[in-house]
Amino acid sequence: MTNITVGSLSFLLSLAEGEEPGTTADMLTERTGTEGKDLVASGMFVPGPNRTMVNVELSNGDGVARVEDDPDTGGFRYFHPEDGYIPLEPERMLTWRLNLTQLALLVARMLGMPGSFRPTELVEGLLWDLGTPRLGTRKGQPVLFGVRLGESDVRAAMKAELHLRRGAQSALMLAPARSVAADLTLPAVLRIVPLADVLDRRQSTSKTSPAVLDRGRLGALADPRPTHADAVSAPVQCSPDGAWLRIDGRELNVRGKKKMVLRLLFDAWENSTDWVDEEWLLGQAEYDSKRIEDVFKDKRPEKRNEWKQFIEVHDGKVRLKVPKAP
């Protein structure tokens, strides 16, 4: 399935944030209409266990009733406190579970990935790699899709996997959540974006309109440069991939494995660890050398000692050279 309405997509995204992302047949029809059959046929939903409870309307409000076997018909029934036993149609017994990998595939299609592409599941049931689609004028921007980011154990599982991506181009992460905490960060992730925030407003004018992603806007969000407000408020900044480091307005730009070195030092500073072991640091960045001087050596006179303005070394320990606050 490559096309979906805004209303149906919103329903899928709301389900995706649940620990057990499922729905009843009644709710699926109510929220998606005739599109629900197409979603089931495409594999977006897979059958779940039959319902054991149903909602009932009472004169003094709503209630629930337990589903029972009907000995007269061989089917199912439930007991209504005011109306007695009521037969239950077999289709009302059905439940459906959302196939999150299929949802990730739908998002990849909306990003313009080719029909042969399949998302890679990085953390089971939680995180997918959607490839490197073209976003606006940006070519090959890595995009991830992650669910349930509000849960600490989920973020811990993601961090373990995302640490392995350090040194590569930072990714945008799309999330089904309505909002994401402004201070939520993950390794090797440039920005976390609620998917609903980047629907094309020019086309997605109602719940029955086709859901279309604004890839140009996503491309703009992939710009790693900090805003002026960021520069004023933070004395130390580092791009998610470690390509640049700023300390009090001075900037150091690096390439290759040096990016990992800068990012690890920034993480240590941000976590108040400061000093890290020099040999460990260079090992994490996959350098054979045990001396950071060898890593940052440069034949150009003007660049030879530039790194020393940003990094200090003492007795086999390394940290960022951050001036103490007055």
pLDDT for the residue 219:
85
* pLDDT mean across residues, the chain: 87
Domains in the chain: boundaries: 6-98, 100-221, 228-320
Q: Read off the pLDDT of residues 117-128 as tens digits, 9 standing for 90 and up.
A: 999 999 999 999
The mean per-residue pLDDT over the stretch 46-73 comes to 86
Tokens 């899709």 correspond to 145
pLDDT band at 305 (very low <50, low <70, confident <90, very high): confident
The mean per-residue pLDDT over the stretch 56-85 comes to 87
Q: Rg of the Cα trace of the chain?
A: 26
pLDDT for the residue 138:
67
d(CA 238, CA 269): 11
Query: For the chain, first and last CA: distance in Å?
Result: 59
Residue 46 has pLDDT above 80, yes or no: yes
Residue 182 has pLDDT above 80, yes or no: no
The mean per-residue pLDDT over the stretch 139-163 comes to 92
pLDDT band at 56 (very low <50, low <70, confident <90, very high): confident
Cβ–Cβ under 8 Å, residues 108 and 117: yes
pLDDT band at 91 (very low <50, low <70, confident <90, very high): confident
The mean per-residue pLDDT over the stretch 165-172 comes to 81
pLDDT for the residue 181:
81
Minimum mean pLDDT range among 249-253, 254-258, 298-302: 298-302
3-state secondary structure 98-162: ECHHHHHHHHHHHCCCCCCCCCEEEECCCEEECCCCCECCECCCCEEEECCCCCHHHHHHHHHHH
pLDDT for the residue 3:
86
Provide the b/e sequence for 30-50 (b: ≥16 CB within 10 Å): ebbeebbeebbeeebbeebee
The mean per-residue pLDDT over the stretch 100-129 comes to 96
pLDDT band at 10 (very low <50, low <70, confident <90, very high): very high
